[in-house]
Amino acid sequence: MDSNQIILNDFITKHPFAAAKALEVLGHEDVVEFLLALPSQKGLRMLSLMNPKNASECFVLLPAKQRVEYLEKGSPSAMAAILRMIDNPLHDELLRAIAPGKAVPIKRELEFKPNTVGPFADPAMTVHKATSVDNAVDMLKRERTSRSSELYVVDLDGIFQGLVETTELLRAERADIVETIMVKTCPRFSADQPIKSVLHDDAWLQYRQVPVVDRADKFIGTLSYKAVMAIEGKPEGLTKDSINETAGALGELYRIGLTSLLQSTGK
């Protein structure tokens, strides 16, 4: 690694927002060449911090393999911000190119507005309200990946009906149906609610996972208390003005020097 590369890597690590800002003054082809010269994680970091419009125009110029890698390794919110700027058919082709498990959270981000409950909802196990307790218990045993202490009850249209505590399910008569033992008046969040509006909701006093529904009351998944605490623990996102201030603090002359360094390293 030459001295320029060492200086550049150190700068990106210490001043990622300023580095991304400097990248945006380059031509798209130069940015792509530069990103490909960086370690994958650093390149992804730079792309994620760029203006979404500029980032998307650079993203489509990347080799197909690199686009897939970024989509699968990047945060769903950052990748969704880029994909929103890309028209079909390429938009859909990009989503089809990645593993289904990686595509789901990005699609969820695209479906809902940023910073609402919907993108943070996790899939959860559901049962139809007419399911027998015996069958529900069998389903629960087969679903080894479920960590929830509740089953979520829906009708044939997917409309949320209530929930059943797994402890109650195991104590119930096997011939009973789920509807007779479910809790109907449980709290729920709307997918369109601002995520900050639920941070201190009373629902967390009773449940560690709260059902999330859309405007038609269709069950989407659950929002976990763990996810909410992670959100609350994050510092406020930097505004455009604060990013500009970070870059400006380096001094205009230093930024010009950095831009030259970026160009020379990318080639």
197 and 174 in a common domain: yes
Between CA 80 and CA 57 the distance in angstroms is 14
Q: Is 115 left (phi over 0), alpha (psi -120 to 50) or beta?
A: left
3-state helix, strand, coil in the chain (%, to 5): 55, 15, 30
Report which secondary-structure segment, H or E, holds 151. strand 150-154
Between CA 8 and CA 260 the distance in angstroms is 11
pLDDT, tens digit (0-9, with 9 covering 90-100), for 234-255: 544 444 444 454 545 444 434 4
248 and 220 in a common domain: no
Q: Which of 60, 63, 68 is nearest to 100 (CA)?
A: 68
188 and 97 in a common domain: no
Q: Is the pLDDT of residue 75 over 60?
A: yes
* pLDDT of amino acid 265: 56
Give per-residue burial for 149-173: e unless 16+ CB within 10 Å, then b.
Answer: ebbbbbeeeeebbbbbebeebeebe
Across 72-86, 112-126, 154-168, 179-193, least confident range: 112-126
Q: Which domain range does residue 29 map to?
A: 3-111+237-266
Tokens linked to 21: 């800002």
183 and 94 in a common domain: no
Count CB-CB contacts under 10 A for residue 95. 18
106 and 14 in a common domain: yes
Task: Please confirm whether the linkage preceding 63 is cis (ω < 30° from 0).
Answer: no
- Calculate what percentage of the chain has a pLDDT beyond 70: 81
The total of structural domains in the chain comes to 2
Pairing of strands 150-154, 219-224: unpaired
144 and 204 in a common domain: yes
CATH number of the domain within which 153 lies = 3.10.580.10
143 and 65 in a common domain: no
Locate tokens 């929002």: which residue? 223
**Global pTM value:** 0.59
pLDDT, tens digit (0-9, with 9 covering 90-100), for 90-140: 999 999 999 999 999 899 888 888 789 988 888 888 899 999 999 999 888
Between CA 161 and CA 184 the distance in angstroms is 6
Q: Is the pLDDT of residue 162 over 90?
A: yes
245 and 226 in a common domain: no
258 and 173 in a common domain: no
Mean confidence (pLDDT) of the chain: 83
CATH number of the domain within which 70 lies = 1.10.220.30
DSSP state, residue 204: G
Across 35-39, 86-90, 218-222, 236-240, least confident range: 236-240
Cα distances from 165 to residues 185, 205, 206, 226, in angstroms, run 13, 16, 12, 19
254 and 201 in a common domain: no
135 and 92 in a common domain: no
Q: Which residue has the higher pLDDT, 267 or 94?
A: 94
DSSP 14-54: H-HHHHHHHHTTS-HHHHHHHHHHS-HHHHHHHHHHS-HHH
- Calculate what percentage of the chain has a pLDDT beyond 90: 46
Strand partners, 152: 126, 163
154 and 88 in a common domain: no
